[in-house]
A and B are shown apart, each in its own frame.
Chain A
């Protein structure tokens, strides 16, 4: 909220709530003043560039030929949406998102269960181990997996029994995607499992005991007690990871550089803008990616009723 609009509400509200003292008004003003720098910086570093991208997307504009810049309206969007490259990139992005998030949810849940039940002597060691993939630079993990499957430096073809020794993992679409997904899963499952672990801690112990006394099996307790009670944590984890997976870039850049049809939407935006200097088309792809991410967020919040703001306010 900007400083100018923030001063408007109190005078209007004053007659309705006469108890709202000067002190409360002062507190409100102090609160907004303390938030103002952070909010202004956020709006400047994100809000302004996004508006600029929307503006740029309406022009045919190539940096190598700036004089030929001309207004084309929605022409760039028509161009992008009618090109199979866009749909291929979108397909790759959706595929990676769905596969990695699904695997991560199951794997992350298993990790969370082990951590939740591990002896307290083991827990610090596990916590340290699980933070390492999270904290490692994505580019580093991408290189680790690339070298692992690489034909010259790798060892995977020798280790995996059902794989021919000369299989070039990065030579075809399916195998490339598998390695990209593997590296993405390795790096981000710990984050999901930590969120799920804190969700597990919120499941009331008495409910578990009661179900146990009533003779429920482990699987029944899981389905009827544990999972329903940690639905909020699962949904938040899903939302965060889906949006994160949807902007996948680093892994693809390092492992395939978009070869074998593995280009993602974020990679397409990068290639158009930074490599081909097609500012207009690159901006259009960026705007479309932003819209897609916003749609996913809205879908989660409205469709699955993930209440992020409410969950934080409940903490007060």
Chain B
């Protein structure tokens, strides 16, 4: 590759990084602006202030933000956990066993994952009100399974197909007990795939907005994305732009950390399930 074309790929790479970081950098910058600075029309704050973070973590907006953060973390973790356990059983069967209905399992999970979420919200809104699940954690965990479970089945099946399962038998031939073979051979082989699936499923649940605003009404269960939408008008004297930005930065940090730690596996998980030649 000639020096000139190498330089061009560097330019292209730089452009991609700029493209990806630009709105993120903007929201970070906005979160560090003082209220008087918000309409200065410039990208960067003229002076860095932490008062937006104080406002949402200890100040008046914390009553809105902190319960929402707790709800989001709790509900998404539960929905991810249930989905990964159920999907692991299912994906193991699809990848390893011969039984009728495999295509049905994959087809159903694909169909569900492409489903418009809003179509499920309409009836759930009514049913949840009738049976008392409206505005509860369970009332969100259950519909979140419609997001996390199909993706987990699909992704885990792709991962499990890559595992050399013969190694389990080989270990048993070498004298390992079934439990040992599972712990020492299968868990290390399957672990990364399961972890990646859990991360992607968690991202999807964390991202949900439709269920969040439709099936909750108070801080008892309202997750962060929905709470952000309700920041508007929370304080009557100033636009909640700074508070929203600070909250947005806080909920973005865990996502960025996970991406930094697991980028290679996440890319594999996202593409393996979809494009398998």
A residues whose Cβ falls under 8 Å from a Cβ of B: 1, 6, 9, 24, 27-32, 34-35, 37-39, 41-43, 45-46, 49-50, 52-53, 56, 63, 111, 114-115, 117-119, 122, 124-141, 143-145, 147-148, 150, 152-155, 157-158, 183, 186, 190-191, 194-195, 197-199, 202, 232-233, 236-237, 240, 243-244, 246-247, 249-250, 253-254, 266, 269-270, 273-274, 279, 282-283, 286-287, 289-290, 293, 297, 308-309, 311-316
Q: How far apart are B190's CB and chain A's nearest CB, in angstroms?
A: 15
Known: A274-B121, A283-B122, A314-B276. A139 touches B229 (CB 8 A): yes
Distance from B232 Cβ to chain A, minimum over Cβ atoms (Å) = 9
Interface-facing stretch out of B52-60, B143-151, B166-174, B180-188 = B143-151
Of all A-B residue pairs in the complex, the 6 with the closest CB atoms, nearest first, are A31-B99, A34-B93, A52-B123, A114-B12, A31-B97, A28-B99
* Residues of chain B from 111 to 135 with CB closer than 8 A to chain A in the complex: 111-112, 114-127
CB pair B252–A137 under 8 Å, yes or no, is yes
Would A194 and B267 count as touching, CB distance under 8 A? yes
Question: Beyond A140-B228, A148-B23, is A130–B125 a contact (Cβ under 8 Å)?
Answer: no
- Residue of A30, A31, A254, A269 with most chain B CB atoms under a 10 A cut-off: A31
**8 Å CB contacts to A: which residues of B262-277?**
263-264, 266-267, 270-272, 274-277
Contacts of A118 in B (CB 8 A): 9, 12-13
Are B89 and A38 closer than 8 Å at their CB atoms? yes
B153 at the A interface (CB under 8 A): yes
A45-B123 Cα distance, complex, nearest whole Å: 11
Neighbouring B residues of A274 by C-beta, 8 Å = 121, 125, 213-214
**B26 at the binding interface (Cβ < 8 Å):** yes
Q: Across the interface, do B108 and A42 meet the contact criterion of CB distance under 8 Å?
A: yes
Q: Judge if B245 is at the interface, Cβ distance under 8 Å.
A: yes
- Which of A31, A114, A316 is the one whose CB lies under 8 Å from B161? A316
Question: Among A37, A197, A270, which residue has its beta carbon within 8 angstroms of that of B86?
Answer: A37
| B107: contacting residue among A186, A243, A309, CB under 8 A | A309
Interface size on B, residues (CB 8 A): 102
Distance to closest chain A CB from B196 (angstroms): 12
**Which of B30, B39, B153, B209: most chain A Cβ within 10 A?**
B209
Q: Is the interface of B mostly helix, strand, loop or mixed?
A: helix
Further contacts, 17 of them, CB under 8 A, given A126-B13, A134-B270, A316-B161 = A27-B98, A31-B99, A34-B93, A34-B97, A37-B89, A50-B120, A52-B123, A53-B122, A53-B123, A122-B10, A126-B16, A135-B203, A137-B252, A152-B38, A153-B30, A247-B117, A269-B119
* B27 with A144: CB separation less than 8 A: yes
Q: Known contacts A45-B145, A141-B23, A143-B248; is A249 also within 8 Å of B118 by CB?
A: yes
Q: Is B197 an interface residue (CB 8 A)?
A: no
A147-B123 Cα distance, complex, nearest whole Å: 34
* Chain A residues, CB < 8 A from B224: 137
Q: Which chain A residues border B114 with CB–CB below 8 Å?
A: 240, 243-244, 293, 297
Question: B150: which A residues are within 8 A, CB to CB?
Answer: 42
Whether the pair A124, B263 counts as a contact (CB closer than 8 A) is yes
Which residues from A are CB-within-8-Å of B120? Answer: 45-46, 49-50, 53
A137 touches B97 (CB 8 A): no
Chain B residues whose CB sits within 8 angstroms of the CB of A34 once the complex forms: 89-90, 92-93, 97
